[in-house]
Structure 1
Amino acid sequence: MDDLLKQLQRLPPEQREQILQKLARRQPASAREKAPAESAIPRVARQPRMPLSFAQQRLWFLCQFEGQSLAYNIPGVLRLDGPLRREALEQCLNTIVQRHEALRASFLLEADAPIQVLAPELAVPLPVVDLQGLDSAAQDDEVQRRATQEARTPFSLDRPPLLRLTLLRLGPERHVLLLTFHHIVFDGWSIHLFVRELTQLYAASMNGTPGALPELTLQYVDFACWQREWLRGDKQERELAYWKKQLTGAPAQVALPTDRPRPPVQSFRGDAVSFHLGRRLTQQLKAVGEKTGATLFMVLLGAFAGLLHRYRAGDDLVVGTPIANRGRRELESLIGFFVNTLALRIDLSGDPSFLQLVERVRRVTLDAYTHQDLPFERLVEELHPERNLSSNPVVQVLFALQNTPAGQIELPGLIVTPLEMPAVTAKFDLTLLMEDTAEGLRGWLEFSTDLFDPASVRRMASHYENLLAGIAADAHQPLSALPLLTRAEAQQVVEEWNRTDVVYPEQDCLHALIEAQVRRTPDATALVFEGQALTYRQLDERANQLAWHLRSLGVGPESSVAVCLERSVELVIALLGVLKAGAAYVPLDPGYPAERLAFMLSDCAAPVLLTQRALASTLPPSSASRLFLDEAGPLLALQPSGPLALALSPDALAYVIYTSGSTGQPKGAMNSHRAVANRLLWMQRSFQLGPTDAVLQKTPFSFDVSVWEFFWPLLSGARLVLARPGGHQDSAYLAHLILQQRVTTLHFVPSMLRAFLEQPDLSGCSGLRYVFTSGEGLPADVQQRFASRLSAQLHNLYGPTEAAIDVTAWHCALP
């Protein structure tokens, strides 16, 4: 068995694939004795209108659906060095066109169904473009430009021929031949046939010998007719039953880590990055396969699935792979669209070792080969996936291991070399193409430019190489332990990005940071609300008086104070006063239902409730003592206005904010002074508020965003501007307030930001410096709309209430 595996590994991939397919299809001897001999594909009578194969039919429908898509163009570029006989080359090319009916086909709609028409004769011109007047560098640029232009020029399926030829003359003995085919008449195997026949015919022409090729007993249309008959009845039902069972419950899409959201309609524009694995690593990977009875194809596919899994694509992946679909000998010499796609469902659950994963891939692959005869198109029809112009059905990621490229092909007096040209289209979101060459494995990652940036895909290719190197070193490792990052990336992520240590006042609590600002700018305006204003000294003194009074009521460290107030000057004094008393404040939104307020009051067991007389009738009964701040002025004026001599640990609680809770029962999320101070000092270090800044406080104080809105401006010397109660829901009012108070900084949830940006006149908002969003996902179109209407910076924040407000931040700068 080991010797057999080694021999298989040495074979070119497509030959190895065919052998594996035949082995997978072999039946026991007893079954073979009873099975009838496989009948030959018959040649059918030619009619003016001929049917399409299943693959052609689906591709025809896609082309009608998507318009003149470039995704199905197959370009080729051949460099021809030596004395070229153009007339002989043109004759040879047309001999191939005459030899293969598929190259003379066109596709029409008749009686609501597509048909193909085969032209009895068809001459394909070979125009010559003379580039001899350009220098070498300019010639290279022009070759690339014209090759790219050819690849991007669509075909009309109803106008034959569905191939184009152009000869570029670079010098008397230097030419480049551009060939472009439509996939509906051509596939990867056909490329090798075309080049082989062209070289045979041209060599015969140069040598003056007969250039006859072996007669073709069949044409592609014979296969198309036979396929439709062959897949009738039980055969088709057995194949469909297998694939439906295999793919039931599979995810509709692979969750790829894209750089951009998927557009509503995919453009099929693409690009590719290339990479190379050395001979030593290639041999090591083949040895890994030999340990498990797997081919190199299975090892590379398993590693690719492992890479996507590590990119959080999930435990259940469907990866497509093309097969030649030429298992019958009589099909091996035909040009046409034979290739089929197998949807391989790979199980990556349980963090398997790589050897365990390869065994899973081996079983899935061999089973798929056994059931390869069902056209992918029939499977898609049967599965009825939701029609979605933004992605391909069933398969969005493809993997292929291809034949070793031919390299230079020597002819009498002429050397033919295939040239690589930049990819301009992508049929799938992501395609990994590998080639096993004498120098080792070569790879190309072709990607949709709708979704990915080249830099991201280059990084992906680098990660794939690292993963393969880790597999070669120890394939017994679980997937989660295999290396992914390069040494430079590991240095950046683990060390450079992790250098987040910052020196900040270890012993200072939140209110102490504000008191320090009071000492710096006592007479600057600290707070503005509806015509009222307080300086930093006035705000500090009134908060101190409240703190002294709370202490007299028994409030102190380890206790909490409930606060139920409308947005007002008293609200800010209440929050700061509670902190100065050493307690944690518990915000109770006056708009909450009475049952919710009752639960929160009971759960937090606050001994004191700070509120307003107007809210008394809406508050549920509780054991907390009530202090109506709008009436308590004379009482609080009796208290000292100086600070309390209170030693409070930075680890003491600053606030308790209740969330809805996963069960619907509110849960109190607690945060310490140390955590909040760290968060606010980061914000000040990053954005540098100063005395000319004004922060608009409009978020209901039952949400943690309000914490930075209240306290960041007060510790940085800026002005805190309060919106009127309910004003956060009125975009016109907010726009006026921003202008009136010269607001520079504010926060929106994305849905409110969208509404605000629809205000007809935002000219008064030109003074905005920073707009922060959080609380919801920020759609790309809102970011773009923001950039078109405001000049401020947009920053997207995220964090659970249990954290100190936010844990991630992103500057939404458009390229």
Structure 2
Amino acid sequence: MAEHEMTLFQVGLAAFYIFLFKLTQQTDLCVLTISANRYRAELKDILGFFSNTLPQRMIIDPHWTLDQLFDCTKELCLKSMRHAHFPYQEMGELQGIQTLFLAEPICQAKCSSELVLKPSRSLLDDMVAKFDMTCSIDYNNEIRSITASLNVSTDLFDAKTISTMAYRFQCLLDQVFISVSSFVCNISLLLEHETELLQQVNMNNKFQYQSNLLLLHEQFANRVEEHPQKLAVVLDNQCLTYGELFYFAQLISYHLINACHIQPNDIVPLCVERSLERTIGILATLMSHAIYCPLTPNHPQQRLNGILRQTNAHCILTHDMTANKFESKTVNLSSLIRPNNIDIIDQSLNVPRRDFDEVAYIIFTSGSTGEPKGVQLTHRNLLLTVASYAYNGSILPTDTALQITPCSFDAHVPELLGCLIMGGTSILLHPDGNMQLNYLTSLVERNQASYMHSVPSHLSIICEQLEKDNAFERLVTLRSLCSSGEAMDIRSLNKFRRNTKATIFNLYGPAECTDVSIYKITQDVKQMIEPTCIGRLSPNLVCRILDPYMQTIIPDGHQIGELFVSGPSVFPGYLNRNDLTQCVLINGLSDRTEPYYKTGDLVRLDAYGSLHYVGRKDFMVKLRGQRIELGEIEHIILNASVNVTRCVVIKHQHSKTAHEYLVAYVQTTVMNIESLLQQRCQEQLPSYMVPSIFVLLDKLPLSTNGKIERRLLPQPDAIIEQIVQKRGEQPKTKIEQEVSAL
């Protein structure tokens, strides 16, 4: 204090600013202080109460050192004293000030060689707290000690929380008085038991795995040797045993190597509807030591062509339904998979063995730059993910698994291959089977399926239909239900839990690291389902939850931070995009040699070690389980016409139906452009990325710094109703029909 010529009050106020910043993660803080208000010499000796409440606003730069914060606090206090006589009540009326915190200067310092303090505890004598939080600091001259106290409103905080706050403030003061060269953002409020909790989160659920694990197709070959006559895949009236599936896959692999000259690490796109051929094609690609890349057949041709350019593919695997989508380089699986071709199979294909950490498959996801980006996943990534499924019991070798997930989801790979390399049976739906609910549930019943995966919105529709038909008995054989891609629908899950015996697993994980955490929901009715909970870390993964200044958040279930994940299921990088890879794979966050993946997801960590999903740091969203970069849609719209000057796309949830959909707000002077914009989106984007509504505006609302102010955009619910009323006709789109039905 002497070095900075500061009073104890000024130091305490600076510490209180840090305390509030670390607790609230806000940098713009306003704290009330009490001024003696004897600003004229003749007032000093007059008896009476002159004190005035003085707001002190500080905008903290988290990268300041404590030295810099002390200097700024001292300057703020000196400047504010010039206006200490201005009544606070009038100030509040003029500015509409709303204050939550009070810092009380309980001391007065006299200029002498010895600091003399006269503590005043008038604000702490009352049983009722006058403010949400009051901080007082005393100096005892006799024993030369400083005492800090917090008076906190029990209407806002319970006794345990208040006690914890006091310990945190003590922890902060210890750091403040040790080193004034520390940065404000590096001050930690973590207590000892919280540090231990963070360590336990990263130490739980570890299991040993072999360092020399077999590759994916080698694992499958072992299952073939164990039970060649067991059913591997079933599609309606078609089926293949493990032995048959292996031989057909080997046949296609032989063709890829000898006729198509596929080399190790070549990318082989597969544009095939859900079928036996697709399963054969995936395994054949891996047997050729090439890289599997799914293409969704119903995606726009322009998008498919863009992916082909990125992969530089020598051939494209198709079947009868998709053979005409491409002009050249196609290999029609339907024409090759013939029983009379089995004789030409060479039992010992001369292909060099690949490394366990080489890429096995690539999933293209939405990209903010206007082009999809390829997420590369290795054999290790998938095998360790499948091993964690078995460890947690979500899928087992004895399962008969219903394969629902489309190939546009990254989850279709562990769902299909995971089942096969574990030795289970995969039940395929025909391409349009997902929304044919009677067909889907009948498949579960007929094949006695024990495992199913569904996104929450799809599960909600299934449960509604089964309840309507009183047909939940069709799902009686289900042992495990996995759900991912969206926030859980508690109503549907409780309905499902009441009517089946299945254990529910809520899976969380971006494509870049397969599955990160698992939230297990048992049949125990006492277990309350927490809608935001994404559970505990998957085995052998570690995480860090960091604030914007790369400091660990407080694991109290309230503070929010960005999730960083490291471990064997984290991807090696994006295809041909080292720039993007360097942005998301971060080294140096711990003593681990493996990088951390920067997920962009905001989470909380509760006192029990469970993660809770809060939202996104950027504008990526998920709709019906599909990952969407809104920037990609905006890029398409902006380039659709010279008359479009600005655009912003949001995901909106209807206030009455709770259905989610995309809304595009377009700044344009041309009001008949909607059909053109919709056409351009349909030509270049998958159907789930095409906005349901285009709102044309003369001008989009902007903030003072020129950015689009999303909060001020008109609500789309009212716009839909206006459109329907203005037309004076029957609603056409799905969204219009939902609103009209209300």
Fold shared by both chains (TM-score > 0.5): yes
Deviates more, 1:323-332 or 1:532-541: 323-332
Mapped partners of 2:477, 2:91: distance in 1: 59
The letter for the 2-side match of 1:775 is: G
Gap change, CA 1:532 and 1:295, over 3 Å in 2? farther
Instruction: Quote how far apart the aligned CAs of 1:563 are.
Output: 0.3
Deviates more, 1:488-497 or 1:676-685: 488-497
The partner residue of 2:28 within 317, 335, 351 is: 317
Mapped partners of 2:61, 2:340: distance in 1: 69
State whether residues 252 and 336 of structure 2, in contact with CA within 8 Å, keep that contact through their aligned partners in structure 1.
no
Matching residue of 1:662: 368
Mapped partners of 2:11, 2:492: distance in 1: 44
The letter for the 2-side match of 1:661 is: G
Gap change, CA 1:589 and 1:473, over 3 Å in 2? same
| Aligned pairs for 1:281-296 within 5 A | 289-296=1-8
Matching residue of 1:807: 516
Mapped partners of 1:456, 1:637: distance in 2: 71
Instruction: Quote how far apart the aligned CAs of 1:567 are.
Output: 1.1
Instruction: Quote how far apart the aligned CAs of 1:308 are.
Output: 5.3
State whether residues 101 and 131 of structure 2, in contact with CA within 8 Å, keep that contact through their aligned partners in structure 1.
no
SS at match of 2:289: coil
State whether residues 653 and 671 of structure 1, in contact with CA within 8 Å, keep that contact through their aligned partners in structure 2.
yes
Matching residue of 2:630: none
Query: Over aligned residues, Cα RMSD in angstroms?
Result: 4.4
Instruction: Quote how far apart the aligned CAs of 1:293 are.
Output: 3.7
Deviations 1:3-41 (A, max 9, x none): xxxxxxxxxxxxxxxxxxxxxxxxxxxxxxxxxxxxxxx
State whether residues 323 and 332 of structure 2, in contact with CA within 8 Å, keep that contact through their aligned partners in structure 1.
no
More helix by share: 1
Instruction: Quote how far apart the aligned CAs of 1:789 are.
Output: 7.2
SS at match of 2:3: helix
Instruction: Quote how far apart the aligned CAs of 1:360 are.
Output: 2.8
Matching residue of 1:539: 245
Matched, 1:511 2:202: no
Deviations 1:634-674 (A, max 9, x none): 46534438574642211221111112211111222212112
State whether residues 254 and 345 of structure 2, in contact with CA within 8 Å, keep that contact through their aligned partners in structure 1.
yes
Matching residue of 2:138: 436
Instruction: Quote how far apart the aligned CAs of 1:442 are.
Output: 4.8
Deviations 1:419-441 (A, max 9, x none): 97xx9x9975xx46445376853
Mapped partners of 2:154, 2:481: distance in 1: 33
Deviates more, 1:642-651 or 1:708-717: 642-651
Matching residue of 2:279: 572
Mapped partners of 2:463, 2:89: distance in 1: 46
SS at match of 2:247: helix
Gap change, CA 1:516 and 1:292, over 3 Å in 2? farther
Deviations 1:738-790 (A, max 9, x none): 44444444434444445455445273445544444443455778777877777
SS at match of 2:321: helix
The partner residue of 2:314 within 594, 607, 615 is: 607
Gap change, CA 1:493 and 1:613, over 3 Å in 2? same
Instruction: Quote how far apart the aligned CAs of 1:679 are.
Output: 2.2
Matching residue of 1:592: 299
Matching residue of 1:35: none
Gap change, CA 1:464 and 1:442, over 3 Å in 2? closer
State whether residues 52 and 85 of structure 2, in contact with CA within 8 Å, keep that contact through their aligned partners in structure 1.
no
Deviations 1:123-164 (A, max 9, x none): xxxxxxxxxxxxxxxxxxxxxxxxxxxxxxxxxxxxxxxxxx
Gap change, CA 1:620 and 1:455, over 3 Å in 2? farther
The partner residue of 1:348 within 61, 80, 84 is: 61
State whether residues 12 and 137 of structure 2, in contact with CA within 8 Å, keep that contact through their aligned partners in structure 1.
no
Mapped partners of 2:164, 2:233: distance in 1: 50
SS at match of 2:513: coil
Mapped partners of 1:636, 1:725: distance in 2: 27
Gap change, CA 1:465 and 1:510, over 3 Å in 2? farther
Deviations 1:457-515 (A, max 9, x none): 76555444323212221121113444443445445535872575733342421222233
Q: Relative contact order (C-alpha < 8 Å, sep 6+): which is higher?
A: 1
Q: Normalization by structure 2: what TM-score?
A: 0.57
Matched, 1:302 2:14: yes
Matching residue of 1:690: 396
Matching residue of 1:471: 176
Gap change, CA 1:326 and 1:357, over 3 Å in 2? closer
State whether residues 796 and 809 of structure 1, in contact with CA within 8 Å, keep that contact through their aligned partners in structure 2.
yes
Instruction: Quote how far apart the aligned CAs of 1:605 are.
Output: 1.6
The letter for the 1-side match of 2:384 is: N
Instruction: Quote how far apart the aligned CAs of 1:590 are.
Output: 0.6
The partner residue of 1:704 within 410, 423, 427 is: 410
Mapped partners of 2:95, 2:440: distance in 1: 52
Matching residue of 1:493: 198
SS at match of 1:565: coil
SS at match of 1:658: strand
Instruction: Quote how far apart the aligned CAs of 1:520 are.
Output: 3.5
Mapped partners of 1:343, 1:786: distance in 2: 55
State whether residues 570 and 630 of structure 1, in contact with CA within 8 Å, keep that contact through their aligned partners in structure 2.
no
The letter for the 1-side match of 2:29 is: V
SS at match of 1:292: coil
SS at match of 2:419: helix
Deviations 1:523-551 (A, max 9, x none): 43332322433333333332222222222
Gap change, CA 1:342 and 1:753, over 3 Å in 2? farther
Matching residue of 2:338: 633
State whether residues 445 and 461 of structure 1, in contact with CA within 8 Å, keep that contact through their aligned partners in structure 2.
no
Mapped partners of 1:658, 1:788: distance in 2: 38
Instruction: Quote how far apart the aligned CAs of 1:596 are.
Output: 0.7
State whether residues 318 and 395 of structure 1, in contact with CA within 8 Å, keep that contact through their aligned partners in structure 2.
no
Unaligned runs of 5+ in 2: 108-118, 522-526, 530-742
Mapped partners of 1:543, 1:654: distance in 2: 16
Mapped partners of 1:402, 1:768: distance in 2: 67
Gap change, CA 1:557 and 1:769, over 3 Å in 2? same
Matching residue of 1:63: none
Gap change, CA 1:496 and 1:643, over 3 Å in 2? farther
The partner residue of 1:679 within 364, 379, 385 is: 385
Deviations 1:219-267 (A, max 9, x none): xxxxxxxxxxxxxxxxxxxxxxxxxxxxxxxxxxxxxxxxxxxxxxxxx
The partner residue of 1:562 within 250, 264, 269 is: 269
The partner residue of 2:432 within 726, 739, 760 is: 726
Matching residue of 1:360: 72
Mapped partners of 2:374, 2:302: distance in 1: 16
Rg comparison, structure with higher value: 1
Deviations 1:86-105 (A, max 9, x none): xxxxxxxxxxxxxxxxxxxx
Unaligned runs of 5+ in 1: 1-288, 385-392, 408-416
The letter for the 1-side match of 2:266 is: S
Q: Normalization by structure 1: what TM-score?
A: 0.52
SS at match of 1:663: coil
Gap change, CA 1:319 and 1:598, over 3 Å in 2? same
Mapped partners of 2:389, 2:236: distance in 1: 27
Instruction: Quote how far apart the aligned CAs of 1:342 are.
Output: 3.0
Instruction: Quote how far apart the aligned CAs of 1:736 are.
Output: 4.7
Matching residue of 2:288: 581
